[in-house]
Amino acid sequence: MQSGQVDARPLPCSCDFDRLYDPHPSSRGRPGPGRRADRHPQVTEGRADPDHDADELAGTGRHLTSQELYTWTRFLDAGRLLEEILASHVAQEHHMTHSDYEVLVRLDGAGGSMRMTLLAAQVVSSAQKLTHTANRLERRGWIERVPADGDGRGLVATLTPEGRSALADAALGHAALIKRFLLDDLNPEEQVGIGETMDRLAAHMRVHRRGEPCHRCNPPDGQDSA
């Protein structure tokens, strides 16, 4: 396949991710056409016991209800597993880290260029970590950095044609995995609800990350927190 072309072949159902993430592949069939996967599979590993005595715990579960602990751990597990799947794909098939891919896709979504400070905020990265990623991408010819106009200290990262080609090569498989392991198991209403919830949570945490006053945690006098 030539550089810049996208491999349109569908990912096989028997890909390595099945063996990695399905502990009982022989006993758990895939849903047939028009049938949703089991919404509550019989997998209880790590799930909080609804009858547990929180006073017997020393960790986070001591301070959360059983439902709160279950919600938190399932959110954490799903996010980490999906991140690992995506990172494995871009590393094995396209010889980049998932941080590399995210920088490329953020620049692409911003029209090809972005200030490094804004890029760091979007990818939730420290300036030092983003600099290491940018150095690696620049050595490969996938981005270039130039001083920002009117600001001798700021830098603007720009996606090069070679970087855009590398992104295009990886994007189809990346999107297919997102659909397969996340979106295909959600109906349109669930996708909207999860998207809106994650947007609200991210906005709240970004306020704290920037060190700004949080009116939700510390509402003005006479106002309840949202």
Tens-place pLDDT, residues 67-125: 999 999 999 999 999 999 999 999 999 999 999 999 999 999 999 999 999 999 999 88
Contact 78, 181 (CB under 8 A): no
Q: In the sheet where 151-159 sits, what is the strand order?
A: 113-115, 151-159, 143-148
Separation between Cα atoms, residue 175 and residue 173, nearest integer Å: 5
Among 34-38, 82-86, 158-162, 208-212, which is the least confidently predicted range? 34-38
Domain ranges of the chain: 64-175
Top-level class of domain 64-175: mainly alpha
Give the count of beta carbons closer than 10 Å to the beta carbon of residue 152.
6
pTM: 0.72
Residue 55 token pair: 């006073």
Q: What's the one-letter identity of residue 163?
A: G
Separation between Cα atoms, residue 81 and residue 11, nearest integer Å: 18
Contact 73, 47 (CB under 8 A): yes
